[in-house]
Structure 1
Amino acid sequence: MSLTKKEVYQVLHTLLAEKQKEIVSSIEQLKQSAAEDTKSSAGDKYETGREMVRQEINKAELMHSEYCVQMDLLRSIDPNEEHEKVRPGSLVSTDRAVMFIAIGFGKIEVNGQVVFVISPQAPLARLMMDKATGESLTFNGATQQLVQVS
């Protein structure tokens, strides 16, 4: 595995921080839009528009809250800690993919290499738990060999 856990951690941390910043900006824009709408509208149309903006703000605030939870979970991982067996915080390379067991984030690219960032509760991660380099597992009918665990 040419990637280090520290490199993957840094890229993931940066991407998550960017998402947090974007959602905060979106919330501010929605609140500004709601304030401007108050000045220029009247009647039922105003109430409907205001309610739609309020729902968008609520959705955005919920997403922001989720990103904060994910950031807290990510910060609880020590990227310098090496693991013999798969557990939360492990960087796992199989003969099929590279995965970082941390948070449910999806596919990211680190130094030109695809890494799947998955939650420890994900079905594949649960199958990998406590397995070491050289062991294998079968997921969705496909067998994967653990090439490296760190």
Structure 2
Amino acid sequence: GDKHETTLSMMHLEQEKLNQKLKEFLEAKAIFESIDFEKNNTKVSLGSLVLANDVYFLISVSLPKVELEEKTIFAISPQAPLAQKLIGRDLGDSIEVNQLNYTINDLE
């Protein structure tokens, strides 16, 4: 009896965790799909692809890094400290995050 109830309880907890992760994924997917990646920005904003110090950052939702055409792209959420410093900046601007200096070399 007790082993069965404990197993059921653990399965229920695991199911709740998975449901929460699914909810978070679906919310992130909805945000990502709502971003207009075609607009041309003169300043860094949501949907911008930023080249800073030879590293590409996509301001969107937090995702695993992507390898594309021999380039690594890090998708970061607007709430990330680096994104918060980048948003609103122009091409050529420099920022500092965690004692690292970043210069915006390209902006798409």
Superposition TM-score, scaled by structure 1 size:
0.68
Structure 2 equivalent of residue 69 of structure 1:
27
Q: Distance in 1 between matches of 2:69 and 2:15?
A: 35
Give structure 2 stretches of 5+ with no counterpart.
Answer: none
In structure 1, distance between residues paired with 2:2 and 2:69: 53
Match of 2:11 among 33, 53, 56: 53
The question of 1:133 aligning with 2:91 is answered: yes
Q: How many angstroms apart in 2 are the aligned matches of 1:95 and 1:44? A: 58
Matched, 1:146 2:104: yes
Query: 1:142 and 1:131 mapped to 2: Cα distance?
Result: 17
After superposition, the CA RMSD in angstroms is 1.1
1:73-117 Cα offsets, whole Å, 9 max, x none, are 001111211211001111100114110000122422223321111
Query: What CA deviation, in whole Å up to 9, does each residue of 1:23-79 have, x standing for no partner?
Result: xxxxxxxxxxxxxxxxxxxx1111001111111110000000000000010011112
Matches within 5 A, 1:86-105: 86-105=44-63
Letter in 1 for 2:41: H
Q: State how far apart, in whole Å, the 1-side matches of 2:99 and 2:30 are.
A: 34
Alpha-carbon distance between aligned partners in 1 of 2:69 and 2:63, rounded to the nearest angstrom: 18
3-state SS in 2 of match to 1:81:
coil
Normalised by the length of structure 2, the TM-score is 0.93
The runs of 5 or more residues in structure 1 that have no matched partner are: 1-42
User: How many percent of aligned residue pairs carry the same amino acid?
Assistant: 31
Give the equivalent residue in structure 2 for 1:23: none
Aligned residues: 108
Larger mean CA deviation between 57-66 and 90-99 belongs to: 90-99
3-state SS, counterpart of residue 51 of structure 2: strand
- Which amino acid counterpart does residue 8 of structure 2 have in structure 1? R
For residues 96 and 65 of structure 1, the distance between their equivalents in structure 2, rounded to whole angstroms, comes to 34
Q: 1:93, 1:99 within 8 Å by CA — same for their partners in 2? A: yes
Q: Which moved more, 1:106-115 or 1:84-93?
A: 106-115
The CA distance in 2 between the partners of 1:126 and 1:70, in whole Å, is 18
Structure (1 or 2) with the greater helix fraction: 1
